[in-house]
Amino acid sequence: MDKNNIINEYFEWMTNIVCGKRFSGKMTYKKLLSCLHMITFRYEMRSDENRAEDGVDLRWRFAVDTGRENQNDWIRDCLEGPCSVLEMMVALAIRIEETIMDNPALGDRTGQWFWGMITTMGLGAMNDNNFDKKSAGNIVNTFLDRQYGSDGDGGLFRIRGVDVDLTKVDIWTQLCWYLDSIS
């Protein structure tokens, strides 16, 4: 298997985690997810480096999940580079489900957490039939540049009635406050 096959398989693996059987037929989000994977996750707050590290760590999880843990160096070489926005968001959705909100009675809600972030960013309507690369890029840059609403609208988590400007708060803290606000 060559490098391009690994890159494609990794992308499909990530999209399966967040899409699963959720979208079928004509309604797919491959263009949006591909766009998110082409954009490097950049951050202004030092603590958000942890989100980037979680995203890069997905590559090891991919190696393990596909039975290639003994080929980790080769997988790492194939999937080199900084964390993408898609990797960060998938890793964060997994962390929400497995670390904080795990509830076997409710099943795996990783996709729910991911698509909630997509919707809050303003990308929820960008299925393959409605995808606009320029608009998607602008929306993602609004998030990355922390130019979204002080309540988080346009970012990953919107918290109604919050009395703190969420653009000044790291992603993990926003997540925790968001989860507190919905539970």
Task: Concatenate the DSSP letters of all residues of the chain into one string.
Answer: --HHHHHHHHHHHHHHHHHTTSS-TT---HHHHHHHHHSB---SSGGGHHHHHHHHHHHHHHHHHTT-GGGHHHHHHHT-SSPBHHHHHHHHHHHIIIIIS--GGG---HHHHHHHHHHHHT-TT--TTT--HHHHHHHHHHHHTT-S-TTSTTSS---TT-SS-GGGS-HHHHHHHHHHHH-
User: Alpha-carbon distance 148 to 67, whole Å?
Assistant: 40
Supply the pLDDT for residue 74.
82
pLDDT tens-digit series, residues 118-149: 999 999 999 999 999 999 999 999 999 999 99
Q: Is the pTM of this model over 0.85?
A: yes
Whether the pLDDT of residue 71 is over 90: the answer is: no
> Mean pLDDT of all residues in the chain?
92
> Which range scores top for mean pLDDT: 15-19, 86-90, 102-106?
86-90
Supply the pLDDT for residue 75.
84
- Whether residue 33 contacts residue 86, with contact meaning beta carbons closer than 8 Å, is answered with yes
Kindly calculate the radius of gyration of the chain based on its CA atoms and give it in whole angstroms: 16
Whether the pLDDT of residue 72 is over 80: the answer is: no
Whether the pLDDT of residue 24 is over 80: the answer is: no
- Whether residue 148 contacts residue 142, with contact meaning beta carbons closer than 8 Å, is answered with yes
Whether the pLDDT of residue 108 is over 90: the answer is: no
pLDDT band at 26 (very low <50, low <70, confident <90, very high): low
Supply the pLDDT for residue 52.
98
